[in-house]
């Protein structure tokens, strides 16, 4: 992508409304634009990051055996009357009437709708286990939307829903998602700690929130420091191995971890003081096992191996992609801007032409840009006619992990500089060596 042809509306001033660093940087870097309170447009730079976050989520959901579909944002109130949540959900739910005066709603979550999909087609235990997910917009009329897309009213959610014959199967399904979540957040450069959680309007008795530690987080959390060093399930994780997954779950729940709603102060204080971690955190995922709460109310049954009808056991599993983007920024930035982990970077590298219009600089940059593009690297080429200082500031702000800087003096000697955005280290290489460095992935 050439910057001269991209749409990157960078802000020079610090936006007044932004209280936390991720919100400030997302606005300054032209990633999002607020349209009304808690409702955002994802501008092209932001959209690129969001797509990468979603791709990681998808890969790990698919690996764990979940299957993607897409349900609508608008739902009929009838479904929610069946489960009894239409009245219970309260003012957070946006209620709408269509032209025939039929009550509709903008889905805050999809337990009812997926249960309806399930009951329409699945009749036998032979079709279980089943886990269906989608990545779709939700709307919750939050009292206090804030911090940009961290807590918005319209937001993206990956929500998965599992169906099993009995509790045992459902616990296996829960542990599948538990392990998949640990892998998902790690791939984004984050360490998420699962904490016993309150189930709120979703219901059920088994639930974990996945929390990223961050000073600006909205939750107060308490946990054992051992969580910072636990191993993440590897690529060789067998998601069909119920005992193996239980081992992962047991390990990751073997130490104290709770948010303030579930906090047990005496249990926490029993941990030696040097091993306690009392911090703030961001909830990036939340998983629930709620048994037959929806299947019972909505008649989702299958024929079991005994020939009898069984009400299915369900769980639901949420991740907030539009919250993860600011969470990643909270964890990875400096005073000059964002520092993207490579896996979610909008561009893996930026080529900075310090003197656009200079024939030698232009030629060197074109060569590098073409070589990297052809190697399948997401590269941004700053070919704009601007001062070098402004270009450096933009590159640091938008946070591509690697900068390739070409100036007239270096290019005359056949050389460019490579700067590591995270460490700030610079190295001078020949143009060829620079291309090799990036295309070989080192
Ligand atoms: N149906 C269940 C799981 S599929 C559910 O709705 N769970 S939830 O309420 O915990 O939401 C799941 C995830 O969505 C949260 O962990 C969070 O990452 C994200 N999320 C929830 N509310 C917001 C919000 N207002 N803004 C941004 N992300 C949100």
Cα–Cα distance for residue pair 345/273, rounded to 1 Å = 38
pLDDT of 203 > 80? The answer is: no
- 235 plus 147 within the same structural domain: yes
Nearest CA to ligand 1 atom 16: 285
- 102 plus 214 within the same structural domain: yes
> At which of 321, 338, 355 does a domain end?
338
- 122 plus 9 within the same structural domain: yes
Nearest CA to ligand 1 atom 22: 151
Q: Which residues line ligand 1 (CB under 6 A)?
A: 109, 111, 140, 142, 151-152, 155, 157, 159, 202, 283-286, 288, 316-320, 322-323
**Closest ligand 1 atom to 287 CA:** 3
- 228 plus 107 within the same structural domain: yes
Measured between alpha carbons, how far is residue 109 from residues 85, 92, 159, 192, 277 in Å? 11, 11, 8, 23, 32
- 371 plus 251 within the same structural domain: no
CATH code at 421?
3.40.50.800
The CA 219 to ligand 1 mean position distance, Å, reads 14
State the pTM of this model.
0.97
pLDDT of 442 > 60? The answer is: no
- Residues 83 and 112: beta-carbon distance below 8 Å: yes
Nearest CA to ligand 1 atom 17: 320
Query: Model confidence over 134-177: pLDDT tens digits?
Result: 999 999 999 999 999 999 999 999 999 999 999 999 999 999 99
The CA 285 to ligand 1 mean position distance, Å, reads 7
Query: Model confidence over 264-320: pLDDT tens digits?
Result: 999 999 999 999 999 999 999 999 999 999 999 999 999 999 999 999 999 999 999
- 365 plus 232 within the same structural domain: no
pLDDT at position 243: 98
Helices 44-63 & 321-331 angle (0-180, nearest 10): 110
- 332 plus 232 within the same structural domain: yes
> At which of 311, 338, 365 does a domain end?
338
- 324 plus 370 within the same structural domain: no
- 351 plus 332 within the same structural domain: no
Structural domain boundaries, residue 373: 347-440
- 266 plus 356 within the same structural domain: no
Helices 242-252 & 167-187 angle (0-180, nearest 10): 60
- 176 plus 286 within the same structural domain: yes
Nearest CA to ligand 1 atom 21: 320
CATH code at 240?
3.30.930.10
pLDDT at position 198: 81
Number of domains in the chain: 2
Measured between alpha carbons, how far is residue 26 from residues 45, 281, 390, 441 in Å? 9, 19, 18, 27
For ligand 1, pick from 208, 261, 323 the residue to mutate: most ligand atoms within 8 Å of CB.
Answer: 323
Nearest CA to ligand 1 atom 5: 318
- 284 plus 384 within the same structural domain: no
Beta-carbon contacts of 387 under 8 Å, excluding residues fewer than 6 positions away, are none
> At which of 272, 304, 338 does a domain end?
338
The CA 297 to ligand 1 mean position distance, Å, reads 23
């Amino acid at each position: 992508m050439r910057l001269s042809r991209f749409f990157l509306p960078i802000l020079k001033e610090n936006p007044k409304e932004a209280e936390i660093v991720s919100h400030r940087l997302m606005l300054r870097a032209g990633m999002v634009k607020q349209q009304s309170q808690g409702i955002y447009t994802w501008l092209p730079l932001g959209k690129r990051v969001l797509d990468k976050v979603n791709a990681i989520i998808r890969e790990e959901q698919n690996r764990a055996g979940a299957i993607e579909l897409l349900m609508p944002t608008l739902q009929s109130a009838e479904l929610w009357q069946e489960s009894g949540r239409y009245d219970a959900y309260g003012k957070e739910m946006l209620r709408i009437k269509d032209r025939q005066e039929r009550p509709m709603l903008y889905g805050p979550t999809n337990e009812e709708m997926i249960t309806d999909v399930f009951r329409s087609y699945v009749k036998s235990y032979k079709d279980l286990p089943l886990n269906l997910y989608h990545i779709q917009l939700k709307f919750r009329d939050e009292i206090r939307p804030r911090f940009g897309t961290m807590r918005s009213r319209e937001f993206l959610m990956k929500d998965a829903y599992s169906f099993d014959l009995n509790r045992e199967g459902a616990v296996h399904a829960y542990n599948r998602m538990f392990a998949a979540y640990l892998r998902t957040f790690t791939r984004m450069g984050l360490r998420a700690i699962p904490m016993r959680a309150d189930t709120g309007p979703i219901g059920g008795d088994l639930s974990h929130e996945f929390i990223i530690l961050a000073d600006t987080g909205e939750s107060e959390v308490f946990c054992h420091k051992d969580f910072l060093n636990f191993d993440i399930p590897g690529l060789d994780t067998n998601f069909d191995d119920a005992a193996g997954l239980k081992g992962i779950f047991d390990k990751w729940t073997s130490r104290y971890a709770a948010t303030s709603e579930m906090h047990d102060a005496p249990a926490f204080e029993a941990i030696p003081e040097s091993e306690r971690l009392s911090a703030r955190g961001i909830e990036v995922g939340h998983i629930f096992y709620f048994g037959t709460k929806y299947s019972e109310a909505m008649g989702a049954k299958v024929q079991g191996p005994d020939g009898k009808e069984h009400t299915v056991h369900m769980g639901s599993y949420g991740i907030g992609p539009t919250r993860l983007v600011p969470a990643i920024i909270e964890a990875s930035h400096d005073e000059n801007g964002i520092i993207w982990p490579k896996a979610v970077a909008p561009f893996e590298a930026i080529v900075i032409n310090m003197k656009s219009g200079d024939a030698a600089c232009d030629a060197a940059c074109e060569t590098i840009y073409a070589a990297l593009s052809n190697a399948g690297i997401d590269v941004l080429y700053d070919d704009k006619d601007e001062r070098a200082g402004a270009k450096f500031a933009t590159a640091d702000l938008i946070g591509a992990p690697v900068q390739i800087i070409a100036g007239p003096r270096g290019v005359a000697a056949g050389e460019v500089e490579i700067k590591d955005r995270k460490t700030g280290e610079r190295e001078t290489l020949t143009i060829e060596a620079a291309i090799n460095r990036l295309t070989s992935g080192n």
